Amino acid sequence: MRVVAHLQELTVEESWELAATSRLSRIGWNGPTGPVVIPVNHVVYDGAVWIRTSAHSSMAEQVDESGIALLIDDIDPDTHLGWSVQFRGRAEIFYHEERVPEEVRALRTWPSGARPLWVRLVPKDVNGRRLIAE
């Protein structure tokens, strides 16, 4: 049952809190042939969003020290109510697990296979919106 809704801007604090409740997001960057957007698993820790990736992925090859965007959201398909948070900033790749906080190391990706690299986004810009019932 769809309800009538309107957009409400979220505070930065609300955006971080909601982002921490989810484990699935989409990362986007400008690749050599144009924009790239892929789903990823993430964890929020200490003012940053962390992602794991494989050593030879396009993400590993293209995002280090580059501008990226990360979208995290949750929408109820029946009511169309939910929220969306976007983080934008520069990515930094960590090649050595000992440099990754222990609280972040527990992140497990849904796809199988080795994911020895870590991507950290300390965003320069955080904005979010919520669809709420009128």
Structural domains of the chain, ranges and CATH numbers in brackets: 5-133 (2.30.110.10)
Task: Tell me the per-residue pLDDT of 51-97, one tens digit each, with 9 for 90 and over.
Answer: 999 898 999 999 999 999 999 999 998 888 999 999 999 999 999 88
**pTM exceeding the 0.85 threshold for the entire prediction:** yes
What 15-20 contacts at long range (C-beta under 8 Å, 24+ apart), as own/partner pairs, is 15/85, 15/126, 15/127, 15/128, 16/44, 16/47, 16/85, 16/126, 18/72, 18/74, 18/83, 18/85, 18/128, 19/44, 19/49, 19/72, 19/85, 19/87, 19/128, 20/44
* Residue 131's pLDDT band (cuts 50, 70, 90): very high
